[in-house]
Amino acid sequence: MDSNVRYSVIIPMYNEEEVIEETYRRIKKVMGTTGETYELIFVNDGSADSCAQMVEEYSCWDESVKLIDLSRNFGHQVAITAGMDYAQGDAIIIIDADLQDPPELILQMIEEWKSGYEVVYAKRVKRNGESLFKKWTASLFYRVLAYSTDINIPVDTGDFRLIDRKVCDELKRLPEKNRFVRGLVSWVGFRQKAIEYERDERLAGETKYPLKRMVKLSLDGITSFSYKPLKLAGYLGALLSASGFLYLLYVLYLAIFTDSVVKGWASVIGITLTFNGFVLLMLGIMGEYIGRIYDESKGRPLYIVQEVYQGKKQQPPLRMTTARYESK
């Protein structure tokens, strides 16, 4: 590791050509005020636009800029992981390229880090420029995640944070494929502190976390840190089985001790469909866990680096693409 680098800023990007110039300018301005050495690590997560070419040009005349060009889109959490693998700084800062998280907050994070905190994360108190549905689903996601997981993952927080070198090194030891970085940061522990802020509206472009990706992210978070859904399935199964048994006793009582006849073909079909739906739901929950076990068992690299640009093309370190992810 280059001990001359004080700060590493990781900027994952996916189709961000409309904002990348302003992102570079603002982050560059903020880091320049620190008076210390830094590197800007842009991770291109398989973008189809020209944002990677723009950053490549910056790297030709700005020695602080590094571009990690992934071979395809591996996902936001994997792109962050790739940036951490290449980061050389004593402190690592993660910030998205869309400028919803203000780069100016980095200076406050650095102050808290210098005071002794190993993790400084940004907590949103307001989300500007987002629809009510987006705000509601995001709030629901964090609350369900907090209830479901067995570790304390702060609510209303994203990946915008500063982590100490020792925290980064510990995260690099965690090999799981379906990554949930903010959960992993909470899992490793160390001294952590929140900084509250108002999240800005996107400068341009569209969100890279629509409902489908939010659902996947929530499933990754829950299944990575808790087996409560499986326990809940067992509890619900026991409750429905007990209810069915009591209903059977009721039917036998009517048949043996009364002249009444249980009526209602529709109700019987309804109960049957409910039970069948519950069984399929539980199989789906089990499938989520089994699918993740299958992903881990394949032993494939977490990501593949196509090129590394820092003034000129460089060969990616071999361990970043294969050695780290070999089966043990």
Work out the pLDDT band at 328, boundaries 50, 70, 90.
very low
Greater confidence, 312 or 230?
230
Establish if 217 belongs to a structural domain. no
Same structural domain, 306 and 286: no
Sign of CA dihedral 86, 88, 91, 93: negative
Among 45-59, 75-89, 193-207, the least confident range: 193-207
CATH of the domain at 308: 3.90.550.10
Q: Stretch 19-32: mean pLDDT, rounded?
A: 90
Establish if 264 belongs to a structural domain. yes
Q: Is the pLDDT of residue 10 over 90?
A: yes
What is the rounded average pLDDT for all residues in the chain? 77
Establish if 146 belongs to a structural domain. yes
Same structural domain, 183 and 274: no
Same structural domain, 308 and 280: no
Same structural domain, 70 and 104: yes
Q: Is the pLDDT of residue 225 over 70?
A: no
Under 8 Å between Cβ of 286 and 301: no
pLDDT the model gives residue 305: 87
Establish if 221 belongs to a structural domain. no
Greater confidence, 204 or 255?
255
Q: Could you give the CA distance from residue 206 to residue 117 in angstroms, rounded to a whole number?
A: 34
Same structural domain, 24 and 56: yes
Same structural domain, 246 and 194: no
Q: Could you give the CA distance from residue 118 to residue 236 in angstroms, rounded to a whole number?
A: 41
User: pLDDT, tens digit, for every residue of 261-270?
Assistant: 666 655 666 6
Same structural domain, 43 and 145: yes
3-state secondary structure of 69: strand
Establish if 114 belongs to a structural domain. yes
Q: Is the pLDDT of residue 320 over 50?
A: no
Same structural domain, 103 and 202: yes
AA letter at 285: I
Q: Please name which of 106, 198, 122, 183 lies closest in space to residue 157, comparing C-alpha atoms.
A: 122
pLDDT the model gives residue 137: 66
Q: Please name which of 305, 325, 318 lies closest in space to residue 66, comparing C-alpha atoms.
A: 305
Q: Is the pLDDT of residue 129 over 60?
A: no
pLDDT the model gives residue 94: 92
Greater confidence, 137 or 163?
163
Same structural domain, 144 and 280: no
Q: Is the pLDDT of residue 93 over 90?
A: yes
Domain count, the chain: 2
Same structural domain, 68 and 201: yes
Work out the pLDDT band at 19, boundaries 50, 70, 90.
confident
pLDDT the model gives residue 9: 93
- Assigned token pair, 76: 């936001």
pLDDT the model gives residue 263: 64
Give me the residues paired with residue 157 across strands: 123
pLDDT the model gives residue 298: 74
pLDDT the model gives residue 319: 39
Establish if 324 belongs to a structural domain. no
Q: Could you give the CA distance from residue 264 to residue 267 in angstroms, rounded to a whole number?
A: 5
pLDDT the model gives residue 317: 45
Neighbours of 231 (CB within 10 A): 10
Greater confidence, 235 or 138?
235
Q: Stretch 195-210: mean pLDDT, rounded?
A: 65
Q: Is the pLDDT of residue 188 over 70?
A: yes
Establish if 213 belongs to a structural domain. no
Q: Is the pLDDT of residue 235 over 50?
A: yes
Same structural domain, 34 and 97: yes
Establish if 1 belongs to a structural domain. no
User: Residue 235's domain spans which residues?
Assistant: 227-298
Same structural domain, 309 and 278: no
